[in-house]
Amino acid sequence: MATNVTENQAAVAEKLMITPSPHVKDSIDTKQIMLTVVAALIPAMLAAIYYFGFRTLIMTAVSAAACVVFEYLFNMVTKREQSIGDCSAIVTGVILAFNVPVTLPIWMLIFGDFIAIVVVKCLFGGIGCNFANPAATARIFLLVSFAGQMTHWIAPHSAIDSVATATPLSIIASGEGTLPSVMDMLLGNRGGSMGETCALALIIGGVFLIWKGIIYWQIPVSVIASVFVFALLFGENPVYAILSGGVMIGAFFMATDYSTSPVTGKGKIVFGIGIGFITMVIRTFCNYPEGMSFAILLMNILTPHIDSLTINKPFGAVFENKSKKEGA
């Protein structure tokens, strides 16, 4: 039964491959994660089409395509490895489109995509290296550049050229007009950016992502909870506070961006509370009726510091300056 070892050796030796362990890997990759996020945005897309018409679908598709094209061109011009295959540009494009009013001229949206992908993401090193959330920053850029168009809201089910309506936040800020009912707020039957109005659709998408293990619960829960608490403290209606503006899309889809949020569980909670606090400060005490994007951007800047202050304590680790025995 014994084989001639030396003969066999010659036959096999050249073909065997050596790699470090582990020798198996999970099938999940970056592309699959990004496409899952896109899938989670579908309920909000359907709600947007229902309330604001098919123009929302066209704008979203154009925005996603523009992001992919900008990333492709950037990589080509700078002779970098092509990275559009990871599909993260699609997510940025969709989220940015959801953050603008349906009436926004499409060229402005494409300009926003350029800012998001080229300036905020690619110039800082591409996926995983950008310190600021591309969609949130681009939205702020558009808001500052095109203040009129970016705040031209129309009522649901009305024509694109119809008269502007107020958003619940501007009603709260100015104290004029009637607020929609809580049910309308939940279902998204209100003025606002095209993908942010239907809280229910965003919650469904967000819970789906948590269930799939794509995002962790800490950021959305701490953002929503802290907006609620600070609204109470500042004397606002907390239910309207969490259902209005960009809280839901921000909490589930923008603040949870991997590149720009802390990685540790504790850090995520600190980050979420910071966003909730800054959002409510801007809404209550500043000129802007909405502060979600600003809050996300400001906390993005703090992320590296939050990360380095919330390093995990590994299982069984002993730190020299502490003499006491510690458990897990």
Partner 1 sequence: MSFLQQKTLSGARVKHFKNTENCASVEIPLPKEVCISMSQHMGPPCKPTVAKGDSVKVGTLIGDSDAFLSAPIHSSVSGTVKDVTELVTSNGARTQVVIIETDGEQAVEEGIQPPVVSNHPEFVKAIRASGLVGLGGAGFPTHIKMNPKNLSEVDTLVVNAAECEPYITSDYRTIVERSQDILDGIEAIKKYVGISQVKIAVENNKPQAIELLRRLTAEDPSIEVCSLRSIYPKGAEKVTTYETTGRVIQEGMLPSDVGVIVENVTTTAFIGQYMRTGMPLVSKCLTVDGDAIAEPKNVIVPVGTHYADLVAFCGGYKKPPKKMLMGGPMMGIAVFDDAYPVLKNNNALLVFSAEKVYVSEEHACIRCGRCMSACPYQLMPRQIEVAAKNNDIEKLKKLKVMLCMECGCCSYVCPAKRNLTFSNKLAKQQLRAATAKK
274 binds partner 1 (CB under 8 A): no
CB of 93 to partner 1, least distance (A): 17
Query: Closest Cα partner for 307 from 256, 257, 254, 261?
Result: 261
**32 part of the interface to partner 1, by CB under 8 A:** yes
> Does residue 324 bind partner 1 (CB under 8 A)?
no
Residue 114 Cβ, how far from partner 1 at the closest point, in Å?
Answer: 21
The reply on whether position 28 binds partner 1 by CB under 8 A is yes
147, 182, 309, 311: which one contacts partner 1 (CB under 8 A)? 311
20 binding partner 1? (CB under 8 A) = yes
Report the alpha-carbon distance of residue 177 to residue 167 in Å, rounded.
Answer: 10
312 binds partner 1 (CB under 8 A): yes
Decide: is 25 part of the binding site for partner 1 (CB under 8 A).
Answer: yes
d(CA 66, CA 120): 15
Cα angle 222, 34, 142 (rounded to 5 degrees) comes to 70
Give the whole-angstrom CA distance, residue 126 versus residue 88: 10
Asked if 92 is part of the footprint of partner 1 (rule: CB under 8 A), the reply reads no
Of the pair 147, 326, the CB lying nearest partner 1 is at 326
Cβ neighbours of 111 (radius 10 Å): 17
Place of tokens 């709600």: 47
Which window, 21-29, 61-69, 204-212, 241-249, contacts partner 1 (CB under 8 A)? 21-29
| Out of 177, 258, 288, 304, the residue judged to bind partner 1 by CB under 8 A | 258
Asked whether position 29 contacts partner 1 by CB under 8 A, the answer is: yes
Q: Indicate the residue among 1 and 163 with the shorter CB distance to partner 1.
A: 1
**66, 110 contact by CB (below 8 A):** yes
HSE-up of residue 23 (Cα within 13 Å, Cβ side):
3
* Residue closer to partner 1 (CB basis): 149 or 264: 264
Q: Does 88 bind partner 1 (CB under 8 A)?
A: yes
Please identify which residue in 8, 145, 162, 174 interacts with partner 1, judged by CB under 8 A.
Answer: 8
Nearest to 200 by CA among 81, 44, 55: 44
Q: Helix/strand/coil (H, E, C) string of 95-122?
A: HHHHCCCCCCCHHHHHHHHHHHHHHHHH
Nearest distance from C-beta of residue 48 to partner 1, angstroms: 27
Half-sphere exposure of 145 (CA within 13 A, CB side): 12
Q: Give CA separation, 235 vs 170, 224, 302, in Å.
A: 16, 17, 28
Q: Which stretch binds partner 1 (CB under 8 A): 4-12, 147-155, 226-234, 245-253?
A: 4-12
Q: Are 307 and 283 in contact (CB under 8 A)?
A: no
Residue 265: CB minimum distance to partner 1, A: 8
In 42-105, DSSP assigns E strands to none
Question: From residue 206 to residue 225, what is the string marking binding to partner 1 with x (rule CB under 8 A)?
Answer: ----------x---------
Q: Which stretch binds partner 1 (CB under 8 A): 16-24, 140-148, 184-192, 294-302?
A: 16-24
Using CB under 8 A as the binding rule, whether residue 33 contacts partner 1 is answered as: yes
Burial of 184: CB neighbours in 10 Å, binned 0-12, 13-18, 19+: middle
Spatial contact of 87 and 39, defined as CB atoms under 8 Å apart: no
Token pair recorded at residue 252: 């589930």
Q: Is 58 in the site for partner 1 (CB under 8 A)?
A: no
Binding segment (CB under 8 A) for partner 1, from list 12-20, 53-61, 132-140, 197-205: 12-20
C-alpha distances out from residue 134 to 89, 127, 129, 130, 141, Å: 10, 10, 11, 8, 10
For partner 1, the binding residues (CB under 8 A) are 1-3, 5-6, 8-9, 12-13, 15-26, 28-30, 32-33, 83, 86, 88, 126-129, 216, 258-259, 261, 263-264, 307, 311-318, 325-328
